[in-house]
Each structure stands twice: as structure tokens, then as C-alpha cells.
Amino acid sequence: MNKRLVGAVTLGLSAALVLTACGSQSPSGGDTAEGGEVTLKLVAADYGDGPTADNSGDKFWKGVIGEFEAANPGIKVDVQVINWNDIDKQVATMVQNGQVPDILQTGDYSGFVKDGLLYKSDEVLSPATASDMLEKFADFGKVDGTGYGIPFVSSARALFYNKDLFDKAGIAEAPKTWDEVKAAAEKLKAAGVSQPFGLPLGNEEAQAESFLWFMGNGGGYKDASGNWTIDSPANVEAFTYLKGLVSAGLTTPNPGTKNRKDVWADFAAGKVGMVNGGPMSIPIFEKGGLSNFGVAPIPGKTGPLDTTLGVEDWIMAFNKNGRKEEIKKFFDFFYGGTAAQKISDTYKLLPVTKSGIEKLSSDEKLKPFLDALPNATFYPFQDPKWSEVNTQIKQTIGGAVDGDPKEVLGAIQKVATAN
Amino acid sequence: MQQTSAPARAVRALAPLAWIGPAVVLIGVVVVWPVVVMIQSSFLKISRFGVVQGANGTDNYTKLLAEPDFGGVMARSLVWVVAVVAITVAISLGLAQLFDQRFPGRRVARWALIAPWAASVLMTAIIFKWMLDPEVGLINMILRDLGLLDALGGADADPLGNAATAMPWLIFVAVFVSVPFTTYALLAGLSAIPADVYEAARIDGASRLRTYWSITLPLLRPALVVATLINVMNVFNSFPIIWAMTHGQPGYSTATSTIFMYILKGSDIGESAAMSVVNFGMVIVLTVIFLKVSKWKTEVS
């Protein structure tokens, strides 16, 4: 008995020791050190090709921070760059352990608002910076009329087609309607192209590809009054059309297991005739050795889309460590200087500020996307259900092109409307 | 006497702690504590962003059990474990027997077997995924050159895109990375069997099969039980192979419980913790059943 008790006490003590050890680690990175120097902790997503690539997020941020620190003595910035697959889960762990960063750059901000973790955007943005933001983008950063998410970069989608393969198959111009897509795909198939239409419906970004096809038929994830409409007749019809393409062998095989990254690589290798992509796919295609491609509006059922999928990424400031003055200086530096434009140049992402868009308007390849931006449609990411719905879409929506579209979309709709 | 012996007894009682203390601390910190936190989390409401929003009763479990894919995932996990472990053990028994014989080049052959073990499982899985790529996969190219495949790029060249053909490949890769350890464990067991029992069997005129069945296998049992048990736990918790090769897709049709747990983590951390607890319980249950069935405590008669 006695031994057992001693054992339990030792165990408890050691656990406590370890816990305190973990606990004491967290503030050391961010505390005010002697001399009044403040260290901001910045966590950001990697837009590059991984930590060893020339365009790695780590290199990009180190460059920006070097300039910032030179201009602002007394403020240091610690940056941690995390790849897109892991950033949500790692940030969730940080929040759970109470080790939040001061600044976070990622794909969503809305989940932190309800729990009061973020500064309002007007607390950390100077008026000059705030007024330079495109209103439409800034509006998406608002929850109940108050801004929390600060637009960081954006992108839009369009149809890319391989001009060499189109010539070979005798197709004169990019398809504008679903019938023309099918006809072009059949010609490409006959000309020996193994994947006439690249269709990534795997877990990487199935929600984007699906949304583009929904839009082509006037559908979407939600209707105008904000109700979920994932299994609406328009959406089911869109997937029934896709199912026809898939079963005729006109697409990527087993689309529900294929990721955007792989399909884009196949397009760059000349194995795919057409694929939906964004400005960020241009460097990927060019690096893969394909330069003779065209960009066109995305085909819809009866004509090209007058809207497109817009994606906006965010930067936000956590209020836990109370460093809003330093954060404000950093944001002013970032948006006012060359950093924001450097992102667009390096990764072909679109700017979110009026001045940024003006600077890029002469870039020939980005023009179709810049033109599409003002009329873009966004994911319903402000809905608290979206993350769960999104997970379900990524994992299961690909099943709608070989099973029953109504049933698969219905199951996702059920997740969205469950309370 | 009384006064001096009491503290002395206490010191003597505490003395073993100095020896087992570090081990106890280590187990407490890396095993017991995470289990406690995992069970705690499974009863909490946690937002996707990691904010604990209070107690959630058993709602996480109710939600988990109501997931339409839960039953299929659990059944698949069982099939996965049984198939991978059974095939691994069968192959390893044969390989261990082979490597126990003397033949030229045995040393090199034994080394070669270590390779899949030494390589990272994730790397092995990714390499197999690339070899099965519909457009440029090496295996598909060989199949095409042998005339077994009409063309690259189509559904026929995409075994990982379909659960019926993906599962056998996943199991193959899992067996491939499990065989080295199992073989070496069994090889160690084989070399521990004394030569005189074989001699006795030979004098009694036992056939080779009879010798294997009545001498080798029973004496190998301790090694076999340990090797199988470690494999059961490893394979049940195996994550990188399936994640790298199929992500559990299409749908959840190649997902085991570990994969399902990880996917849930993206939308509901509490539910994911509940899945971890169920997973943990499953491993314990499987282990107990296995130990019962294998009668690991009974002596060889």
C-alpha cells in the first residue's frame, strides 16, 4: 500500500514537473526582454514548394522581416512557416495550449472571433492601410459588421487549355458551354490524349472544383438567402453531367482520389487537355515545361461563367499578448512597402489592395484573373458549419461521379443542416 | 531498536524507487498522461480552432457512433489488421526458416531484408504510390509492356483509385514493411531452439513436417506470440501507408479507424478524441483476445 502511494506521488510530481516545464516555455519566445525589445511571433502558411525550395515561405518572410527589423529597431519578429496541410491542426494545438502567436496568416479567421481571441482590424490597421483595402474583400473579413480578418492575398479561377493538344485535335477555340467541353474532350480523346479534362475531386481541393461546376449551372453551396443547397437540382445536374464525362473516360481516372497538385503536374506534362486553375498554377505549368497554354473563362452549362471562385487568405492579430502597437507597425510596413507586391510576384497571387491591383494591371497573364476578381463568388466560410461541411466535401464528393449524385450530395447536405 | 528501524525501513522501502523511478516517470509522462488527456478531451466541446468551449457529456461519442461511415471503418480496420498480420507472419515463418539454413550469400540476404525496415515507412508508401501512378507509374509501364494493360492514364492503370484494387496494394505495402522485423524476431526464436531436440526427433524417425509441427512451432511460440502481438498493435495504429497512398479515399472506402480519427480532427477535435479512445479500447481488446487465444502463459508440455 505504502509503496503504491509513494509511486503515485512520484508520478504526480514528475507529471507536474514536466507540465510546468512545458508551461514555462511559451512566454519566453514573446516576452518583453531587457531594453524594451519586443518579439512578435508570426505564424504563416507556406505558398512555396516546401522548406527547401527557392520560393519557400520561410525565405520570403525572413526577407520581409529583415527589412522590417532594420526599419523598426526594438521590434523583433519570430516567424514559423507551416505547410497548408498542417497549419490548421498545428494552430489549433497552439490555441488549445494557450500559446497563440501574435500574428497569424492562414486561410480562415472566423473561428477565432467568437471566442474573442482577435484584435478588431481597426485596432491594428492605420487608417491609410485600412482605406487601401478593396471594400469587397474587407467586407468578407467582418463578423456582425466588425472587421477581424484582414485580407492578405486573393486568387481567382479560370480554364487553362493546352494549345498544342487543341491544335492536334483540331479544336479552334476554348469551349464555352458544357456541350462544347464534351465535344472538345471527345476530340482530344480521339487524338490520343489520356486525360482530356483534368478533374481533381480528391481531398486536396474538391470543394473548389465542385463549386465551379455548381456555378456553371447557377447552383452553389448556399442560395441567396443563406440556406444550404448542396443537393439542389442544379447541383445534382452538374454532377450528373460530370458523371457522364467520367464514365466516357474523358477525365482524370477516378477523380475522387486525385488531387489538384497531381492533375496540374499532369497538365504541365502535356497529358491533360484542359483543367481549371488559378494564377498560382502559372509558375507550376511553366516550371513543368509547358508554356503554350491559353486561359479562358470557365465554361458553364449554357455559356461562360460571369463569376468565378474567389479565394481570399487572411492575416489576423491575436490580442492575448497585448502588442497591438507593434503589430500595427508591422502591418503598415507590410502593406505600405514592397512586401505585398513581392508576394504577388513570387507566387502569382492577386493583391487585395487598390494600389496593389493598379501596380499589376499591366501583367498580361494575370489580367484575366484581375478582371474576374470584382465579380468573384466566395465559399460560405463565415458559416460555423463550413469547416465540417468542407471536410465532408473533400473526403466524399468525388463519390458523386461514380455513385448516385443525388445521394452523395444529399449526405453532405445532411451534415450541413444537422444541428 | 524500534526508533532506528523505522526510518531505516522507510529508506529501504524507498530504495527501489531510485531504480524504477526514471522508468515510472517516463511511462507516466509519455504513456499515462497523454491517455488521460485524450480521455478528457473526448468529453469536451472543442472548436476546430482548438478553443475549449466547455464540457460536452457523451455527445462526442453519440455523434461518432451516428457517423454513417463509422461501422464500415471499424470493420475495415479489423480486416486490415487480420489480413496484414496473418500474411506477414506466414511469410516471415518461411523466410525465418530459410535464413536459418546455411547457404552461400546468407549474410547478404539477411542484410537485404533489413532494407524495407530501415527505410521510412512514409517514403516507402510514397514510392509505391508513384510506381502506381496512372500516367507515369513504373509498375503500370511494366504491365503495359507485358501486354497486361492497354493504355496508361485510364482507370485500368489506376489501382489506387478504386477500393477493390487499392486495399490489396495497401495490404501489400504494409506486409512489405512488417516482414523484416517479424522475420528477425522469429529468426532469433529459431536460433534459441537447442539442437538436441531435433536430434532426438531424428532418432525417433519423425518426418520433416512432423518435426516442424511438433518441435519447431511449439518451441517458437514465445517469439511468435511477441512478434504477432507487436504487429497487431503496429498495424492497427498504422497511419502513413494509407494516408500517403489513398488518404482513405475514394470516400472513406480505404480508411481505417486511425485515418478516420485524423480526418475528424479537421472538423471536430472532440469527436476525433472520442475516436482515439475507441481506437485505444480496440487495441486493448484485440490484445486481450489474442493473448487468450494464444494461451501465452501455458508452458510447452
Q: Give the DSSP letter string of B7-73.
A: HHHHHHHHHHHHHHHHHHHHHIIIIIHHHHHHHHHTTEEE-TTS-EEEE-TTHHHHHHHH-TTHHHH
- Please list every residue in chain A whose beta carbon sits closer than 8 Å to the beta carbon of residue B249: 202-203, 256-257, 395, 398
Query: Grid coordinates representing B166?
Result: 487499392
| Statement: residue B255 has pLDDT above 70 | yes
What is the model's pLDDT at position B4? 59
Query: Grid coordinates representing A26?
Result: 511559451
Note whether residue A24 is domain-resident: no
- Please list every residue in chain A whose beta carbon sits closer than 8 Å to the beta carbon of residue B252: 395-396
Residue of B nearest to A399 (CA): B251
The residue range of the domain holding A163 is 158-309+381-417
Domain boundaries, chain B: 69-295
- Does B21 contact A10 at a Cβ distance shorter than 8 Å? yes
Determine the distance in angstroms separating the CA of A325 from the nearest CA of chain B, rounded to an integer. 25
- Does A96 contact B51 at a Cβ distance shorter than 8 Å? yes
Mean pLDDT within B252-278:
90
Residues A142 and A164 in one domain: no
Percent of chain A with pLDDT over 70: 91
Residues A57 and A81 in one domain: yes
Helix-, strand-, coil-residue percentages of chain B, each rounded to 5: 75, 0, 25
What is the model's pLDDT at position A12? 47
- Please report the residues numbered 52 through 91 in chain A whose beta carbons come closer than 8 angstroms to any beta carbon of chain B: 88-89, 91
What is the model's pLDDT at position B269? 86
Q: List A38's β-bridge partners, or say none.
A: A75
Closest CA to A112 of A97, A100, A124, A122: A100
| Statement: residue A19 has pLDDT above 60 | no
Neighbours of A137 (CB within 10 A): 24
What is the model's pLDDT at position A14? 47
Note whether residue A273 is domain-resident: yes
- Please list every residue in chain B whose beta carbon sits closer than 8 Å to the beta carbon of residue A199: none
- Please list every residue in chain B whose beta carbon sits closer than 8 Å to the beta carbon of residue A87: none
Mean pLDDT within B261-269:
86
Residue of B nearest to A91 (CA): B49
Query: What's the fold here for domain B69-295?
Result: MetI-like fold (1.10.3720)
Determine the distance in angstroms separating the CA of A370 from the nearest CA of chain B, rounded to an integer. 32
Note whether residue A277 is domain-resident: yes
Residues A293 and A412 in one domain: yes
| Residue A101, domain CATH | 3.40.190.10
Residues A75 and A144 in one domain: yes
The mean of the pLDDT values for chain B is: 88
Residues A69 and A91 in one domain: yes
Mean pLDDT within B204-218:
86
Please write the tens of the pLDDT for every residue from A349-384: 888 888 888 887 777 777 778 878 878 888 888 887
> What is d(CA A388, CA A395) in angstroms, rounded to the nearest whole number?
11
Determine the distance in angstroms separating the CA of A128 from the nearest CA of chain B, rounded to an integer. 31
Of B24, B134, B268, the CB nearest to A253: B134
Of A257, A266, A388, the CB nearest to B246: A257
Of B14, B33, B51, the CB nearest to A15: B33
What b-and-e string marks burial along B14-28, b requiring 16 or more CB atoms within 10 Å of the CB?
A: eeeeeeebeebbeeb
Mean pLDDT within A224-250:
93
Kindly indicate the confidence band of residue B79, based on its pLDDT and cuts at 50, 70 and 90.
Answer: very high
Note whether residue A11 is domain-resident: no
- Please list every residue in chain B whose beta carbon sits closer than 8 Å to the beta carbon of residue A201: none
Residues A106 and A217 in one domain: no
Please write the tens of the pLDDT for every residue from B54-76: 888 888 899 899 888 899 999 99
What b-and-e string marks burial along B30-39, b requiring 16 or more CB atoms within 10 Å of the CB?
A: eeebeeeebe
Q: Taking each helix axis from N to C terminus, what angle separates B70-100 and B269-294, rounded to the nearest 10 degrees?
A: 40
What is the model's pLDDT at position B287? 87
- Please report the residues numbered 396 through 415 in chain A whose beta carbons come closer than 8 angstroms to any beta carbon of chain B: 396, 398-399, 402, 411
Kindly indicate the confidence band of residue B295, based on its pLDDT and cuts at 50, 70 and 90.
Answer: confident
Neighbours of B10 (CB within 10 A): 12
Q: Is A176 on the interface with B (CB under 8 A)?
A: no
Query: Grid coordinates representing A272?
Result: 491533360
The mean of the pLDDT values for chain A is: 85
- Does A254 contact B250 at a Cβ distance shorter than 8 Å? yes
**A259 and A202 in contact (C-beta within 8 Å)?**
yes
What is the model's pLDDT at position A17? 43
Q: Is A326 on the interface with B (CB under 8 A)?
A: no
What is the model's pLDDT at position A418? 84
Note whether residue A10 is domain-resident: no
How many folded domains does chain A comprise? 2
What is the model's pLDDT at position B299? 53
| Statement: residue B127 has pLDDT above 50 | yes
Residues A125 and A176 in one domain: no
pTM of the entire predicted model: 0.81
Note whether residue A16 is domain-resident: no
What is the secondary structure of B117-165 as a DSSP string? HHS-HHHHHHHHHHHT-TTT-HHHHHHHHTTS-S-TTSGGG-GGGSHHH
**How many interchain CB pairs under 8 A, A with B?**
129
Query: Grid coordinates representing A391?
Result: 471536410
Please write the tens of the pLDDT for every residue from A311-341: 889 999 999 898 989 999 999 999 887 888 8
> What is d(CA B115, CA B108) in angstroms, rounded to the nearest whole number?
11
**Residue type (1 letter), A405:** P
Note whether residue A32 is domain-resident: no
| Statement: residue A9 has pLDDT above 50 | no
Please write the tens of the pLDDT for every residue from A116-172: 899 999 999 999 888 988 888 888 888 888 999 999 998 889 999 999 999 999 999
Determine the distance in angstroms separating the CA of B154 from the nearest CA of chain A, rounded to an integer. 5
What is the model's pLDDT at position B183? 93
Kindly indicate the confidence band of residue A200, based on its pLDDT and cuts at 50, 70 and 90.
Answer: very high
| Statement: residue B190 has pLDDT above 50 | yes
Kindly indicate the confidence band of residue A301, based on its pLDDT and cuts at 50, 70 and 90.
Answer: very high
**A251 and A198 in contact (C-beta within 8 Å)?**
yes
Residues A259 and A289 in one domain: yes
Residues A171 and A277 in one domain: yes
Of A194, A388, A390, the CB nearest to B154: A194
| Statement: residue B103 has pLDDT above 90 | no
Of B151, B250, B268, the CB nearest to A398: B250
Mean pLDDT within A208-215:
94
Residues A86 and A190 in one domain: no
To test the contact with chain A by mutation, choose from B14, B140, B249, B265 the residue with the greatest count of A C-beta atoms within 10 A, namely: B249
Highest mean pLDDT among A305-319, B82-96, B261-275: B82-96
Kindly indicate the confidence band of residue B7, based on its pLDDT and cuts at 50, 70 and 90.
Answer: confident
Q: Is A235 on the interface with B (CB under 8 A)?
A: no
| Statement: residue B122 has pLDDT above 80 | yes
Note whether residue A236 is domain-resident: yes
Mean pLDDT within A64-70:
92
Residues A331 and A220 in one domain: no
- Please list every residue in chain A whose beta carbon sits closer than 8 Å to the beta carbon of residue B133: 262
Residues A406 and A301 in one domain: yes
